A and B are shown apart, each in its own frame.
Chain A
């Protein structure tokens, strides 16, 4: 089955700097890769996703890149703000809407 690894487990950056979180997956059949942000005491919120037919996707300060050959994808946050502080989870699936496998999460702290 699919296995998703995520690094780093914790990340601290200064406000205004960039943050990068990387995930690797094992199943080459996986074709959908979402990223979720979870604030303390709340459910995860979908912030960006990418499908296997695309190499990069950007939404304002957030971008995701996908390298299918190497089987890894990354979340990039530019101009970080204190409200970006949260736990971020990546996920992978080969079946839209089913069988999502989540990474262990990255705790991002943006220091003012």
Chain B
């Protein structure tokens, strides 16, 4: 299957700082990528849909000014958590759909801890 790489896998930051997470499709071009947030022992919560070359579409309740998404190329989408606070600590996962089949592949996830 297709490979989606996410970096960093773990990040610890101080409250008030911003953190950037990268999501790359390694062996295919992804016009659409998705960002999820996952709390412990819970399912995946879709935060936003990232479309190459256009603004991301955010789900209801997700602050677009807090979670900045950029999809500048067909292989890279970034999520920036701005002015992070402890309540933003979570596991963030990206995914990309592959070709006409529409199969969805996930990155390895990034665990953010805000002190």
Given A89-B43, A89-B44, A105-B43, residue A44 in contact with residue B102 (CB < 8 A) = no
In angstroms, Cα B6 to Cα A44, docked, is 13
In angstroms, Cα B111 to Cα A34, docked, is 25
B102 and A43 contact, CB distance less than 8 A: no
Main secondary structure, interface of A, reads: strand
A: contact size bracket: 20 to 34
Given A89-B44, A97-B32, residue A43 in contact with residue B6 (CB < 8 A) = yes
Contact partner of A104 among B42, B95, B98, B111, CB < 8 A? Answer: B42
A34 and B32 contact, CB distance less than 8 A: no
- Contact residues in B for A36 (Cβ distance below 8 Å): 106
Main secondary structure, interface of B, reads: strand
Interface size on B, residues (CB 8 A): 26
- Contact residues in B for A61 (Cβ distance below 8 Å): none
A-B contact pairs, 22 of them (CB 8 A): A36-B106, A41-B109, A43-B4, A43-B6, A43-B93, A43-B95, A43-B106, A44-B44, A46-B1, A46-B104, A46-B106, A93-B102, A97-B97, A97-B98, A97-B101, A97-B102, A97-B103, A98-B49, A98-B102, A100-B34, A102-B43, A107-B41
Q: A32-B102, A43-B107, A98-B97 are in contact. List 14 more A-B contacts (CB 8 A).
A: A34-B103, A34-B104, A36-B106, A41-B111, A43-B95, A44-B44, A44-B93, A96-B101, A97-B104, A98-B102, A100-B34, A100-B46, A104-B42, A105-B42
